């Protein structure tokens, strides 16, 4: 009986997907005079080839003379892709191999792109590529690094402190107390609630498509516009239209009494590099900060334009209440077109959260009735913090 129902659901879903694909395919047939979609948006082989060539060309840029804004600051202006197929942590099978050769990097990229482009028919969600939202369609490139983390040298997150382990256990215990636990706030996912987008700080978190829903969504609306004006650098995220305003005028940090979801950022120029220190994070409980950090987190980011279409993006995360030592990432953001960000009215049209929370409540009631354990916090697709 149950199997029959599942089968019916799958068939219905497939019909819906097929209808949607037809609509997209028909929409892709360009009316006379319209520009057909670029090969790099529809064909993975063409995209891989173009990305590999661009990566090679940008890497060959030596001693790049960074252009200046009219008021004399290094010019970082533009829209950049924050999605990457490089995982945050180095996979076990690549231990002791911090760098790929160029050929290996392209092969790893090819594998990631092809797995990203593939859609599991059991996934009752979007095929992002039909909306040109896969990272390979958005300008992702091969990377010689096997992980974003470069310090610790093993490319892995440092061990968490005993305090952080206690926090995690307490959160899990608290989640078990709330039966059935699913409500908007205990739901714990700031992205599903439209409180925060997919990552305003740090900007690049690493992807490993297929590993989990957050990573699979890594390429979705993963653009940041670096907007410069005298004395300020402002980061405008496509995801949720999150905005980070960074004064670059030497003023001190805000009072520690003022806490921001994106923290309080202060920038300074170190040669051609924009160095941004961010503190004053908000306590996000019951949601979690990036990688389970506390509001005592300090993030130091470095932005350097190293080629016409590439900004090197490094960051160091320090939170003695969470990690036994700071850890650092070194990555690159490809510049993409056009140079604008569209409105992302997430909360206004958040129809989905109603059904997602209702569905979770039902699933939990069923689990209790069947004597199965129910899930803890952090449910719901799509990453977030």
Name the site residues for another protein (rule: CB under 8 A).
Answer: 69-71, 77, 178-186, 193-196, 227-232, 234, 236, 241-243, 245, 247, 251, 254, 258, 260-262, 339-343, 345, 347-349, 351-355, 357-358, 361
- 146 vs 228 by CB, closer to another protein: 228
Contacts of 317 (CB under 8 A, 6+ apart): 202, 290, 291, 293, 297, 298, 299, 323, 326, 327, 328
248 neighbors 268 (Cβ within 8 angstroms) = yes
- 22 vs 354 by CB, closer to another protein: 354
Residue 260 Cβ, how far from another protein at the closest point, in Å? 4
Residue 42 region, left (φ>0) first, then alpha (ψ -120 to 50), else beta? Answer: alpha
- Say which DSSP state 67 is in: -
55 three-state secondary structure: helix
Residue 182 Cβ, how far from another protein at the closest point, in Å? 6
Residue in 336, 333, 317 with CA at minimum distance from that of residue 325: 317
From CA 247, how far away is CA 268, in angstroms rounded?
Answer: 8
- 225 vs 316 by CB, closer to another protein: 225
Residue 8 Cβ, how far from another protein at the closest point, in Å? 23
> Per the structure block, which two tokens stand in for 142?
């091969």
Q: Which DSSP helix (H) or strand (E) runs through 202? A: none
Residue 341 Cβ, how far from another protein at the closest point, in Å? 7
Residue 250 Cβ, how far from another protein at the closest point, in Å? 12
Residue 361 Cβ, how far from another protein at the closest point, in Å? 7
Residue in 208, 246, 207 with CA at minimum distance from that of residue 225: 246
- 52 vs 346 by CB, closer to another protein: 346
- 211 vs 362 by CB, closer to another protein: 362
Alpha-carbon torsion (146, 50, 241, 270), positive or negative: positive
- 36 vs 183 by CB, closer to another protein: 183
> Per the structure block, which two tokens stand in for 179?
């039966």
Residue in 297, 294, 276 with CA at minimum distance from that of residue 285: 294
- 94 vs 245 by CB, closer to another protein: 245
Residue 364 Cβ, how far from another protein at the closest point, in Å? 8
From CA 106, how far away is CA 51, in angstroms rounded?
Answer: 9
């Amino acid at each position: 009986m149950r199997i029959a129902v599942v089968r019916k659901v799958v068939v219905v879903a497939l019909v819906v997907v097929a209808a949607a694909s037809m609509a997209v395919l028909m929409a892709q047939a360009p009316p006379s005079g319209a520009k057909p979609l670029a090969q790099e948006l529809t064909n993975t082989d063409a995209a891989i080839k173009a990305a590999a060539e661009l990566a090679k060309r940008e890497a060959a840029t030596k001693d790049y003379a960074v252009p200046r804004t009219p008021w004399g600051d290094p010019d970082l202006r533009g829209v950049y892709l924050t999605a990457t197929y490089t995982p945050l942590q180095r996979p076990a099978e690549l231990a002791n191999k911090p760098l790929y050769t160029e050929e290996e990097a392209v092969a790893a990229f090819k594998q990631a792109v092809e797995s990203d482009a593939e859609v599991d028919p059991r996934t009752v969600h979007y095929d992002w590529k039909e909306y040109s939202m896969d990272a390979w369609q958005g300008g992702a490139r091969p990377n010689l690094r096997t992980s974003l983390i470069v310090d610790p040298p093993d490319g892995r997150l440092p061990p968490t402190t005993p305090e952080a382990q206690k926090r995690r256990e307490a959160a899990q215990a608290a989640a078990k107390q709330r039966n059935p636990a699913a409500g908007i706030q205990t739901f714990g996912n700031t992205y599903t609630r439209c409180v925060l987008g997919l990552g305003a700080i740090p900007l690049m978190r690493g992807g490993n498509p297929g590993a989990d829903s957050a990573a699979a969504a890594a390429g979705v609306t993963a653009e940041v516009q670096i907007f410069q004006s005298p004395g300020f650098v402002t980061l405008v995220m496509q995801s949720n239209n999150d905005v980070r305003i960074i004064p670059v005028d030497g003023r001190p940090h805000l009072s520690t009494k003022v806490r921001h979801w994106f923290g309080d950022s202060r920038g300074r120029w170190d040669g051609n590099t924009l160095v941004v220190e961010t503190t004053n994070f908000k306590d996000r409980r019951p949601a979690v900060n990036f990688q389970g950090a506390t509001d005592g987190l300090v993030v130091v980011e470095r932005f350097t334009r190293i080629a016409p279409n590439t900004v090197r993006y490094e960051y160091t995360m320090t939170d003695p209440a969470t990690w036994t030592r700071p850890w650092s990432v070194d990555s690159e953001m490809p510049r993409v077109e056009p140079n604008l960000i569209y409105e992302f009215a997430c909360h206004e049209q958040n129809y989905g959260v109603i059904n997602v929370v209702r569905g979770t409540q039902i699933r939990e009631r069923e689990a209790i009735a069947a004597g199965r354990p129910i899930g803890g916090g952090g449910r719901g697709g799509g990453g977030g913090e």
